[in-house]
Amino acid sequence: MRLDMLLEYNKQHGLLSFVTNFLVPQQHAGGRLLPRYDLRNPSYFVEQLNQHLGLALQAYKNVYLLDIDQIASSIGRRYVQDDSVLTWNHSSLSTNYVAPQDRDRLEALTAIHEEYDEAAIAKYVNSVWFELDAMYRSIAQVDMVKMVLVDLDDTLWRGLLVETGSTDIEGWPLGFVEALAYLKQRGMILGIVSKNTEERIIELWPYQHVFPLSNFAVKRINWNPKPDNIAELLAEVNLLPSSVLYIDDNPVEREAVKQAFPAMRSLGANPYLWRRVLLWSPETQVANVTPESAERSEMIKAQVQRETERKKLSRDEFLTLLDVSVSLVALHSSSDPRFQRAFELLNKTNQFNTTGKRWLPAEAEQYFAQQGVFYALSVVDRFTLYGLVGVLCVKQGQIDQFVMSCPVVGLDVEFAAIAKLVALMRLSENAPITALSVETDANQLSRSIWSNCGFLLAGDQYVLPTGVTGVPAPAHITFAEV
């Protein structure tokens, strides 16, 4: 009941909220030799309380647990937690306070920080704020990494695999590969850029049973300059350099890539740190794993295969053979099971994003409350089921934003989506339809979409006049009934 009252603004307005757990007492007050996992042990009792709190928060939207207890454990409980004085009040956080009634003793009392590390409290408080900031950045998808490119020799394993025929993968290499596996589950694209002989790498791949080579969606294993290979991969997957992290043990190669792509992030000097950076950085975290995110590697592989086929045919022949089908579904609330994926796209998409706006959960809730609608665009062709790849935000006759994932760029599905949306909007009212467009540093792909669909620029927005009854849909695309 107390939790429900404290989260009233969250329930009414969808306000993004963070709830802290309780600090677990350092030891069993009854004695260290008594049963550890017994509810009569205050430490175990508080651990169970935290577990129930975490479960209770799952009933709320846009509410996240801020684990201050884990932060206290990382720094050292004895430096930040005072169980003897403040066991059940003020969350047991240690202070420099000495009660007035204790100041006239025969021997003057010293504050607890004089007995321990005084700097630890400041470190703890700062760490809590850093964690809160990291959680917010992950939820808002700020500066997200979408693809990780790795070298092989002395990066994915120790030594030179092709020269020796075997390699050492114990220790940090296995930890690094495990981190890559987690990133793939989160929806990140994995790629290889290595100066090597591809046939021998395939033959000698040392992670065959734990992390097959097929987990890497894109590869360039040859003797070409790495910046050239990376440029090809960026074109294949339609990503900006700022969305990519490059990992290589060779400082010369890292510098060459940095000169070619100044916005690309890189790691390389200390492999003992890579796992920590990959797993814990807010730029690699996601708030939810959607089915489309989990299958992103397969989508990228299909995209690469599709582009290979494209080169063999004329564009019209290629598009006709694709058998592209699209659907457009209206989302009216965050309770819709497709909302999480739609929200992810709004906050991760850079290149095809008509305004560049990033959304907070509360803004989406307010948009729905004002009769706004998210139209979810899904796509399938003969290569793959892409799933939900686009979102159009519509309210009161205005298209406020259109975002679309890069794997379907080039299929003309954006024109089909607008044609379908305009037809739906005309059903309810034959009034001018407006659309917003805001230039960003990255959204070149979407800047001409409205003019290409017959909208006219009027001031700071585009308008489809009342006399225009519809927008032509591409002939090679069919609409699926939902």
**DSSP secondary structure letter of residue 475:** T
Query: Is pLDDT of 81 > 90?
Result: no
Question: To the nearest 5 percent, what fractions of the chain are helix, strand and coil?
Answer: 45, 20, 40
pLDDT at 157: 95
DSSP assignment of 365-378 equals: HHHHHTT-EEEEEE
| pLDDT reading at 82 higher than 80 | no
Binning pLDDT at 50, 70 and 90, where does residue 91 land?
low
Percentage of the chain modeled with pLDDT above 90: 61
Distance CA 330, CA 167 (A): 53
Mean of pLDDT over the chain: 90
Res. 430 pLDDT band, cuts 50 70 90: confident
Q: Which of 10-14, 97-101, 141-145 has the lowest mean pLDDT?
A: 97-101
Contact 272, 176 (CB under 8 A): no
For the ranges 81-90, 312-321, 467-476, the lowest mean pLDDT is seen at 81-90
pLDDT of 89 > 60? The answer is no
Q: Does residue 292 carry a pLDDT above 80?
A: no
- Three-state DSSP state, 165: coil
From CA 432, how far away is CA 426, in angstroms rounded? 9
Domains of the chain: 2-140 (no CATH), 147-284 (3.40.50.1000), 315-479 (3.40.630.30)
Indicate the SS3 state at residue 107. coil
Most confident range (mean pLDDT) of 82-86, 149-153, 406-410 is 149-153
User: Minimum mean pLDDT among 78-87, 161-170, 179-188: which range?
Assistant: 78-87
Mean pLDDT for the stretch of residues 461-467? 89
Q: Is the pLDDT assigned to residue 252 strictly greater than 90?
A: yes
Could you give the CA distance from residue 137 to residue 67 in angstroms, rounded to a whole number? Answer: 16
Identify the band that residue 67 occupies on the pLDDT scale cut at 50, 70 and 90: very high
Please identify which residue in the block is written with the tokens 């585009």. Answer: 462
Partners of 220 in the beta sheet? 193
This prediction has a pTM of 0.81
Sequence-ordered list of residues with C-beta below 8 angstroms from that of 430, at least 6 positions apart, any chain: 466
